[in-house]
Amino acid sequence: MNQSCKNIFCYFLMFVSGFCLSQNRKTDSLLMLLKNAHEDTSKVKILNGLSRRMELMNEYEKGIKYSEEALLLAKKLNYKNGLSRALNQMGSNYINMGDFDKALTSFFKELEIDTSMHSKTKTAGCLGNIGLVYYQKGDFLKALDYYFQTLKIAEELADKVRIAIQYGNIGLSYSVLNENNKALDYFFKAIKLSEEFGNKSYTSTWLLNVGNVYMNQNNFKATLDYSFKALKLAEEIKDKRITANIFGQIGIVYGELGDYKKAEEYYIKSIKMAQEIGDKNTKAHSLGNFGNFYIVYKKYKQAFHYLYEGLVLSYSIGAFNNVKNNYQQLSALYEKSDVVLPDSTGGKHLTKESMRLRSLYYYKRYRALRDTLFSQENKKQIVQKEMNFEFEKKETALKAEQDKKNIIAKEELKQKEQQRNYFIVGFVLVGLLALFILRGFQQKQKANRIIIGQKNLVEVKQKEIIDSIHYARRIQTALITPEKYIHKNLERLNKN
């Protein structure tokens, strides 16, 4: 190892150590809080937080124990939010362990509480988890039913994260049903949304599943391209569960391409990592694929070992799609094997004839389970589920559009009524104003008439006074002899 590689390796170790230390510190902080916590809602939150920490650290059994403690205390306090969270976290840990029946029990209890609280967000999350469990159990009809229910609520809430998850989940169901075009359509929609809000875990998962669709179409180059893109993101975020699944898929591709060593390497990595984190479902899936790989390379004893271990594990966790595949692979193994194999029911070695019968036995079980899981009637119902969802979606959109039109019409009617009322009020005000003006005019006219009457009276009085003066003057003029006249008469007398 050169110095540059050593430096990089040291930085990597420092990063991992720092990451683990950070996780441990968070856990230690919660444990310290728990030690001093009172029996109240805060303690429920701490216990649920510890359950989540255990899940992130792949300590699923410890996580369940913390959830159980949280559940008991939340019940005692009648703390519904705490109950819901505890059941949700418990179900999540059971999924990671591959115990699907217990996961379903937890989620259905949670759904009852979420519904009673009228929480659409919690209800949507719980419905999505129930769909996921049914998918893992191989009941794709029920899975799609719950996925579409979740998608409907997510779209009502405009919750892009949940919409992306349901796109991916619906794509998974279509992929298993070999509806490849529909599957790719939903996966690419999921990738686009998950990249928008920057969730590498979701993006990695959907890239992995796009690769799986291309593998179903024997496009192995595209499968490897998308698988390694997914692996890069998964390793960046240290998500071992996704990484284990990716290793398994890469192993299948290298097996198909005839690269025996690389195929074996990645299968072993997948099984080891799944075992390490307690992911029974991924482990069972990889065991089955690894066993099938050994059939192709005619290593029949190794094939039997891995297939039978995968069958037992798949059956124990209720992963019936895996069980179906194991039946088919065991049937092929007993048919093709040129060595005598053990009897899976008792451990005894079989004769050639009994191996042929055992092959037929597994084939019949495979067909029966396949017909149950993938019957035409089920496919019709699955298609109907999507049609119902699209119909309800369009119906909801039409109703929303009609409601919008009704609101607009109601608003227009309201505006017309307001305009009419304004007109009436305006008309009344104008009428009152006119009456006020008319009354004022009449009062003014009356006042003018009074003034004119008084003026006429004054003029009459003035005329009477003036006439009296003139009359007096005439009398005075008539009674008093003018001076000129007197003077004239005096002169006449003097002459005489």
pLDDT confidence bin for 397, thresholds 50/70/90: low
Q: Which burial class, exposed, middle or buried, applies to 37 when counting CB atoms under 10 A from its CB (0-12, 13-18, 19+)?
A: middle
Q: Which residue bears the tokens 């790989």?
A: 293
- pLDDT score at 281: 87
- The number of folded domains in the chain is 2
Share of the chain above pLDDT 90, in %: 40
Residue at 138 is within a domain: yes
**Does residue 399 lie within any of the structural domains?**
no
What is the three-class DSSP state of 220? helix
pLDDT at 192: 94
| Minimum mean pLDDT range among 41-50, 148-157, 292-301, 374-383 | 374-383
What does residue 349 show for φ and ψ, rounded to 5 degrees?
Answer: -80, 145
Which residue has tokens 């001076």? 483
Task: Give the domain-ending residue among 158, 183, 209.
Answer: 158
325-345 in b/e form (b: 16+ CB < 10 A) is: bbbbbbbbbbeebeeebeebe
Given this model, what pLDDT does residue 203 score? 94
Last residue of a domain, one of 141, 158, 175: 158
CA distances from 495 to 390, 483, 486, 490, 492 (A): 152, 19, 15, 9, 5
Question: Tens digit of pLDDT for each residue in 290-327?
Answer: 998 898 888 988 989 999 999 999 888 888 888 898 99
Q: Is the pLDDT of residue 272 over 80?
A: yes
Q: What is the mean pLDDT of residues 361-372?
A: 86
Query: Higher pLDDT residue, 487 or 322?
Result: 322
Residue 417's contacts (CB-CB under 8 Å, 6 or more residues apart) are none
Whether residue 121 has pLDDT greater than 80: yes
Distance between CA atoms of 26 and 31, rounded to whole angstroms?
Answer: 9
Q: For the residues 278-290, what does the mean pLDDT come to?
A: 89
- Boundaries of domain holding 429: 421-496
Cα separation, 386 vs 443, in Å, equals: 83
Q: What SS3 state is found at 349?
A: strand
* pLDDT for the residue numbered 374: 63
The domain boundary, picked from 158, 187, 217, lies at 158
The reported pLDDT for the residue numbered 483 is: 57
Q: How confident is the model at residue 10 (pLDDT cuts 50, 70, 90)?
A: very low
Q: Round to whole Å and give the CA distance between 425 and 84.
A: 59
Residue 232 or 341, more confident: 232
Structure confidence at residue 179 (pLDDT): 87
16 Cβ contact list (under 8 Å, min separation 6) = none
Name the 3-class secondary structure at 340. coil
pLDDT at 405: 65
Rounded to an integer, the average pLDDT of 214-227 is 94
Q: Which residue has the tokens 């003139």?
A: 470
In this structure, is residue 47 part of a structural domain?
yes
CB 213 within 8 A of CB 223: no
387 pLDDT more than 80: no
Is the pLDDT at 425 greater than 90? The verdict is no
In a domain, 55, yes or no: yes
- Confidence label for 337 from pLDDT (cuts 50, 70 and 90): confident
For the segment 77-106, what is each residue's pLDDT rounded down to a tens digit?
A: 999 999 999 999 999 999 988 888 999 999
Q: What confidence score (pLDDT) does residue 94 get?
A: 92
What pLDDT does residue 378 have?
A: 55
Which span out of 96-105, 228-237, 441-450, 471-480 was modeled with the highest average pLDDT? 228-237
What pLDDT band is residue 266 in, cutting at 50, 70 and 90? Answer: very high
Say what the pLDDT of residue 6 is: 37
CATH number, position 62: 1.25.40.10
Provide the pLDDT for residue 167: 93
pLDDT surpassing 90 at residue 223: yes
C-alpha dihedral (243, 189, 388, 133), degrees to nearest 10: 10
Give the count of beta carbons closer than 10 Å to the beta carbon of residue 384: 13
Q: What percent of the chain has pLDDT over 70?
A: 78
CB 187 within 8 A of CB 213: yes
d(CA 477, CA 391): 125
**Res. 9: pLDDT tops 70:** no
Average pLDDT over residues 386-407: 58
pLDDT for residue 403: 65
Say if residues 133 and 111 touch (Cβ distance below 8 Å): no
Residue that wins the pLDDT comparison between 294 and 14:
294
Predicted confidence band of residue 253 (pLDDT cuts 50, 70, 90): very high
Whether 145 maps to a domain, the answer reads: yes
* Residue 429 falls inside a structural domain: yes
SS3 99: coil
Q: Could you give the CA distance from residue 261 to residue 255 in angstroms, rounded to a whole number?
A: 9
Q: How far, in Å, CA of 311 to CA of 330, rounded?
A: 9
For residue 17, the model assigns a pLDDT of 37
Other Cβ atoms less than 10 A from the Cβ of 481: the count is 8
